[in-house]
Amino acid sequence: MTDATRTTCPYCGVGCGLVMSSSRDGWAVGGDPEHPANRGRICSKGAALPETIAAEADGSVRLLHPEVDGVRTGWNEALDAVAGRLLDTARRHGPESIAFYLSGQLLTEDYYVANKLLKGFIGSPHVDTNSRLCMASTVAGHKRAFGADVVPGCYEDLEIADLVVLVGSNLAWCHPVLAQRLRAARDRHGTRVVVIDPRRTATCDEADLHLGLRSATDVRLFNGLLAWLPEADAVDRVFVEAHVENFDDAVAAARADAPDITAVAEACGLEVNDVHTFYRWFAETPRTVTVFSQGVNQSAHGTDKVNAILNVHLATGRVGRLGASPFSVTGQPNAMGGREVGGLANQLAAHMDPNDPEDVDRVRRFWKAPVLKAGEGLKAVDLFRAIGDGRIKAVWIMGTNPAVSLPEADRVRAALAACPLVIVSDVASRTDTLRYAHIRLPAAAWGEKDGTVTNSERRVSRQRPFRMAPGEARPDWWIVSEAARRMGFGAAFRYRRPVDIFREHAALSGFENDGRRVFDIGAFARLRATDYETLEPFQWPRPVGSSGAASKRLFADGRFATPNGRARMVRVKSVAPAVRPDIRFPLIANTGRYRDQWHTMTRTGLSPRLSAHRPEPLLEISPRDALAHGLEEGGLARVRGSDGDMLARVSVTEDQPPGQIFLPMHWTDEAAARGLCARVVAGRIDPISGQPDNKYNPVRVEPWRPAWTAVLFSRVVPDLAEVPYWVRRRAGPCSIFDLAGDDPAQLDRLSAALASGTTAPLEYRDRSAGRIRRAWLDEGRLEACLFAELGRRPEIARDWLSRQFGETSLDGSARLVLLAGRAPREAPGSGRLVCSCHLVTLDAIEAAVRNGVATTTAEVGRYLKAGTGCGSCISEIREILRDVHIDAA
Ligand code: SF4
């Protein structure tokens, strides 16, 4: 471990290179200027990594020791229990009663050994991963069109393209460094940008055209384009003739589905002119990249959506060419690595097919694994249903939180609660899924583990350790290999270090390949350990010693990975969603990410600044729907789906189209009382990819009017079991809780609980206004502060108050000010963070604009630095400028 370590970001599929360096004050992070994915750039999440590492020093955050049946054990006992119980399950119920559920956060080496153990040695095909929720539809679409799961383009294409079409992708928030690269290219040569998304997102700020289409009508829009391209004489006939199958059939199907622009516009809820403009730009711009992401994949018809996009690129010959390609961007840091090793239930290993007897035989011989069977395993949603109905008796969950991320959250929880054996390997000590674990295994976290990840452009990069794992945490590959050894498979899992696994993975990719499989990194099969240490990021497939130019873009020569080498256009037809809004559930819930949070917040939730951007889950709704359903800005609302419900804070916004609401995916039962959006997501899945539909779920909303609301600042997390609404965020030395209840007695009991162990609180009461303010101190140190009202939420200077928890001797006058909830002479304000990189609040920006100091985004940047870091907040700054100017007008 050195003072500066080059590694890769643990969050999104952009896969930015980072440089971590240590100092007396802790860790510092910077973008790696040498890494081709980001060339030194970084976003707010990456920039806050040192904060999350510092927060992990709090021993309660990490799982530090193995536990079996709630009792702390050593590794020997825990691994014996894992091996013994899995063998016993296989003996009594058959190997197929065992499943592994893996994660796009695992390193490729971890993934490889887990997949090998279950499929090859225990003999069960049921290995699936949370990547099923991310890009399984793209995998299926790629295989149908190209014959292999291959992303043909690279990030540079976004900079070279003259037109970038973003479909179902809020790039500015979900892949911020790619958005930065696109913004810079646009500044340089005026790249046209089209955003296709029902919502108006931050990404639309960079758009020349936003097509806010009706939900689930993407196939119709792209079928319309495919039908129109021949009329516009924009088909690349030479390419199609030589390299594409099924062109006529796919075009005929598209014409039947979307006969003309008027029909398309009507079906999609768009203006005819806008559709025509998009089609015209696409037709006349050879250098076009279509970026697509979860808005396409997370659909009951996701695979068809993907193929509708691939069809128009095949028809125009724009695949793998300079600045011209379809481009899937993944949500997770190692979704692509998981696909390489076969971490999905419908994959085998190294891009081989579990349904192909020759592939199965090949892997069986390579692994010397006689029990390896042909056939696919259960995909995530079906897998957890099989746990629920008792077909699966044992599940090992690694590095993921399915109790939060899978649809039908309450059914998933019931399934886990009833499962005879649940093993969970995790970094965090408290997750919703860990509650159901019989065996808990502490895994090494980012910065402690060692291996490789592959980003969205097929670039393999090293994640290197730069700090010691705490307690008894161990790397996942070690945990799995040790369990395998105890099960009697030691000879096949004799790995001493990650490089041993990487070499075997590389060797399998090249084994009897002969160019049949595009994924071939066989040249690394004899990589020396020292070369693995210094391995530079590379795109597969690249032979050692080559420049890598051959791997940058694939299929440009028109030779695809199908048996006859020709790409396949697929006949797709738009299909109405199986469940439509009705009188009981009149709105469609769309779910997604926030700019500063990641998945279930086990890491980003540790950072006070990241948690400040959106401290609570918001229900975003159009003004028309808010009025119709009696919701008010800033109030609370209950969202009910067919399977469950949640509570969220209401945000009324014109960005949300009527008929649809937006909910964030991040909040868990650890972070909020009822903020889990998976409770309103039904388990409808794409029939081909098995990916659940997180974007189209009919719901109803209703105001939830509490009897009291409060803001609590506290060093300890109190028992909030009887409080119907609470959301917690970390704020340095304390946590801030937004609370609301339906019975004032709840507030009294909470106050009593906070009082234990401290002296009598300072108190201010205004009975007529229903206002109570209390502060508990212990020898001059603030322990907790509660601000409660019967009406709306009290306005408190949250940052200022949380800083008071850092004071060790608050004197008389300082104590009295506490109950005012703000510093003397400070005006009340929201204190909401807008720019996470430079910690600039809404109040500061509004003040600068009102004072006339800054009237443009550039001036806000110069004066306050806001928006000059990762740039993801620029659209918000524009909005603030607009709002203040409207107010002033
Ligand atoms: S863009 Fe993604 S990979 Fe890059 S720093 Fe941000 S979260 Fe990390």
User: Helix count (H) and strand count (E) of the chain?
Assistant: 32, 34
Structure tokens at 785: 């502060």
Please report the pLDDT score of residue 799 as a whole number: 87
Tell me which residue has its CA closest to atom 2 in ligand 1. Answer: 12
287 near 162, Cβ under 8 Å?
yes
Structure tokens at 584: 């009981």
Ligand 1 centre and the CA of 38: distance in Å? 9
Structure tokens at 367: 């692994």
Neighbour-count burial for 206-229, b at 16+ CB within 10 Å, e otherwise: bbbbbbbbbbbbbbbbbbbbbbbb
185 near 156, Cβ under 8 Å?
no
Mean pLDDT by 10 residues, the chain (889 residues): 85 97 90 97 95 87 97 98 98 98 97 98 97 95 97 97 97 96 96 97 95 96 98 98 98 97 98 98 98 96 98 98 97 92 96 97 97 96 97 98 95 98 97 97 97 97 97 98 98 98 98 93 96 96 71 93 97 93 96 92 91 94 98 97 94 97 95 95 95 96 96 94 95 94 90 76 85 90 92 84 87 82 66 77 82 82 81 80 67
* Best of 7, 8, 9 for a ligand 1 pocket test (most atoms within 8 Å of beta carbon): 9
* Best of 6, 7, 11, 599 for a ligand 1 pocket test (most atoms within 8 Å of beta carbon): 11
- Three-class DSSP category at 827: coil
Ligand 1 site residues (CB inside 6 A) read 9, 11-12, 14-16, 38, 42-43, 45-46, 175-177
Please report the pLDDT score of residue 546 as a whole number: 67
- Three-class DSSP category at 371: coil
Q: What's 617-649 look like in SS3? A: CEEEECHHHHHHCCCCCCCEEEEECCCCEEEEE
170 near 592, Cβ under 8 Å?
yes
Angle at CA of residue 13, ends 198 and 143, nearest 5°: 80
Rg (Cα) of the chain, in Å, rounded?
27
Ligand 1 centre and the CA of 330: distance in Å? 12
Tell me which residue has its CA closest to atom 6 in ligand 1. Answer: 43
Q: Which atom of ligand 1 is nearest to the CA of 15?
A: 3
Tell me which residue has its CA closest to atom 4 in ligand 1. Answer: 16
Ligand 1 centre and the CA of 581: distance in Å? 36
* Best of 38, 44, 183 for a ligand 1 pocket test (most atoms within 8 Å of beta carbon): 38
Q: What's 790-850 look like in SS3? A: CCCCCCCCHHHHHHHCCCCCCCHHHHHHHCCCCCCCCCCCCCCEEECCCCEEHHHHHHHHH
* Best of 177, 183, 610 for a ligand 1 pocket test (most atoms within 8 Å of beta carbon): 177
Q: How far apart are CA 462 and CA 739, in angstroms?
A: 43
Q: Which atom of ligand 1 is nearest to the CA of 11?
A: 7
Q: What's the predicted TM-score (pTM) here? A: 0.93
Give strand pairing partners of 587.
699
Please report the pLDDT score of residue 1 as a whole number: 47
Angle at CA of residue 424, ends 418 and 427, nearest 5°: 145
543 near 401, Cβ under 8 Å?
no
